[in-house]
Amino acid sequence: MDTQSDPHSVWLGSMQRPVKLIALAFGAVTALLYLYLVVMKILDPENAIGMQEMIRPEGRPLVMIMLVAIIGTLVFTSIYLSDHIGAIEGDPHGFFDILSLVTSRLAMISIGLIVLVMFYEVVSRYVFSKPTLWANELSLWIAAFVFLFSGQYAMQQRSHIRIFVIYDIMPRWMQKTADVISVGLIVGFTFALVWGGYTDAYTRLMRMETFGTAWDPPIPGTVKGAILFIIVLVTVQAVSNLIADWNKAPEHHSPMDDIDQTEIEHIRATLQEQDKT
């Protein structure tokens, strides 16, 4: 793939700029619609669209446009950010690694959204004495997806909990056998989870089961299905890791592996700057 447009491009190559422009366009539409809704809330509070209507868009074209704009902003921003990897991140190999990078960026953005929601709630509650009916549920809703996508990202980065005391002393053929067994257990667990939970998740999704609060978002209806779907993605990522690592040379681990050398260099540079000042 041509990456001459940006030497730091991981996978988008020449598509990096168009993706960035699309993300900015969706973001601009979202910002303009938000300002419009705020103005309408002030000028015509009786007919204004609030958070109650945002999860019930039927018959409200403006709400549908707003939701599409928000989703477009999140998706294309995540795709753009996934084209740049950090110093401690491994290079992606194949489609599923890239997919995990995209969802990891979505999780990172979502953490910022949770902070904004809670900040809004604190200001509304303690400054204006007008607590919201939706901030807590929205935070829980977003946090559920952050948790799920974080597991997928951890699997892609091989940063999930692993115990190497016995693994490191095994010959390579035995390490491969252990890897196959562990991935097989993951596949078996996922199969049992999907087999046992699919009907319930499908039923909840079809009736969009709600949370039973004043705002009443469809958290059970969406999260239960998302759990099954994303655990399948985690399992596929585990299989992808097994294939990608099959012909790698044996690895040996030590406590020094947990030390982030890049972060140490940043701290050292910061201290040097402070000494100069």
Residues found in the chain: 277
Question: What is the end-to-end Cα distance of the chain in Å, rounded?
Answer: 46
**DSSP secondary structure string for all residues of 8-19:** T-SS-GGGHHHH
pLDDT at 5: 54
For the chain, the domains span: 1-84
Taking phi over 0 as left and psi of -120 to 50 as alpha, with beta for the rest, 158 belongs to: left
Tens digit of each residue's pLDDT (9 = 90 or more) over 160-211: 777 788 888 889 999 999 999 999 999 999 999 999 999 999 999 999 999 9
Closest CA to 152 of 224, 222, 98, 220: 98
In tens, the pLDDT along 75-124 reads 999 999 999 998 788 889 899 999 999 999 999 999 999 999 999 999 99
Is residue 151 within 8 Å of 230, Cβ to Cβ? yes
pTM above 0.95, yes or no: no
Q: Nearest to residue 208, comparing CAs of 52, 56, 53, 71?
A: 56
249: left (phi over 0), alpha (psi -120 to 50) or beta: beta
pLDDT mean over 27-43: 94
